[in-house]
Amino acid sequence: MTIETELRDEMNDRAAAITLPDDPWLGFHHREVRHRRHRRARIGVAAAALAGIVGVQSGLLPVPGWAPTVAVASADDALINSPVRGSLAADTAWQEGLRAVPEDKQDPTELWRVVDRDTVRVLYAGDVGDRRVALAYVSYRFGLLTDPQIVWFDGPRGATPQQMSERGNLDAARQGASLIDTSADGPGIAVVVGPQGSTATIGTGTPVTGVPGSGLAEAVLAPQAAEPTITGTLTSDGRTVTVPGTTGWTTTE
């Protein structure tokens, strides 16, 4: 046996005794496959959540009852939590019927739905002159947004809730609201509603002030040959503010 043969055999024996690790590429490949799978799952969850939010906000998907909302305006608690005023203040059956009257609003590409009719609050209901008038707090919802409003309704004197029609609405953050309707051909009406504890006044030629602290003033107005400027005000703690509202003037000419 030559030295060369002995060295070759020795090297072969030593090489056979060495334990080589598994191919590192296979381990890396398997780990990367798992990582990609997890990344796809996380991206899928995020995309689904985003699609859900977009779908809800656009009105394509229903809003879950547990979903939180963002109010685009606040409400004036003093007004909303005041007792019902007007000649129908004790007629709870009529007020319950009015809760079914507010309609969803299309504005113009967004459908704002009444949130929950159980949350509709009647703030005022009564007959004034030949008209029946009501004011209610109504909250509307579009996707994840809510918009509380105070809404005027009117109809003929003695009208059922179903005979009442919406006349106008204001942000519920207002301290009060007024409805002033005048006509060249007959009497008109004016109603100012504010928080209990305030004093309401209708600013006509001869101002009409309600019972101090009641937050209510009502008046039947004489025919007006031209569209008049009549305002409603509320006074509380020595401070007087003008009340925004809904106005109208009609003539047959």
Q: Which has the minimum average pLDDT: 36-40, 42-46, 193-197?
A: 42-46
Q: Which domain holds residue 115?
A: 70-250
Q: Do residues 93 and 214 share a domain? A: yes
Q: Do residues 42 and 78 share a domain? A: no
Residue 198, domain member (yes or no): yes
Q: Do residues 233 and 125 share a domain? A: yes
pLDDT of residue 189: 96
Q: Of 58, 79, 100, at which residue does a domain stop? A: 58
Percent of the chain exceeding pLDDT 70 equals 70
Residue 148, domain member (yes or no): yes
Q: Do residues 51 and 83 share a domain? A: no
Residues 174/150, Cβ–Cβ less than 8 Å:
yes
Q: Do residues 146 and 230 share a domain? A: yes
Residue 189, domain member (yes or no): yes
Q: Do residues 205 and 234 share a domain? A: yes
Mean pLDDT of the chain: 82
Residue 84, domain member (yes or no): yes
The confidence band for 133, taking pLDDT boundaries of 50, 70 and 90, is very high
pLDDT of residue 206: 87
Name the burial class of residue 11, with classes exposed (0-12), middle (13-18) and buried (19+) by CB atoms within 10 angstroms of its CB. exposed
Count how many domains the chain has.
Answer: 2
Q: Do residues 44 and 169 share a domain? A: no
Residue 63, domain member (yes or no): no
Q: Do residues 162 and 196 share a domain? A: yes
Residue 179: helix, strand or coil by DSSP?
Answer: strand
Distances 160 to 15, 101, 166, 190, 227 between C-alpha atoms, Å = 102, 11, 14, 21, 30
Q: Do residues 33 and 133 share a domain? A: no
Residue 215, domain member (yes or no): yes
Q: Do residues 170 and 233 share a domain? A: yes
Residue 112, domain member (yes or no): yes
Q: Do residues 54 and 75 share a domain? A: no
Give tens-digit pLDDT for 168-218.
Answer: 999 888 899 999 999 999 999 999 999 999 999 999 888 999 999 999 999
Give tens-digit pLDDT for 46-102.
Answer: 444 444 444 444 454 455 554 555 655 567 899 999 999 999 999 999 999 999 999
Rounded Cα distance between 232 and 129, Å, is: 18
Q: Do residues 119 and 233 share a domain? A: yes
Altogether, the residues listed in the chain come to a count of 253
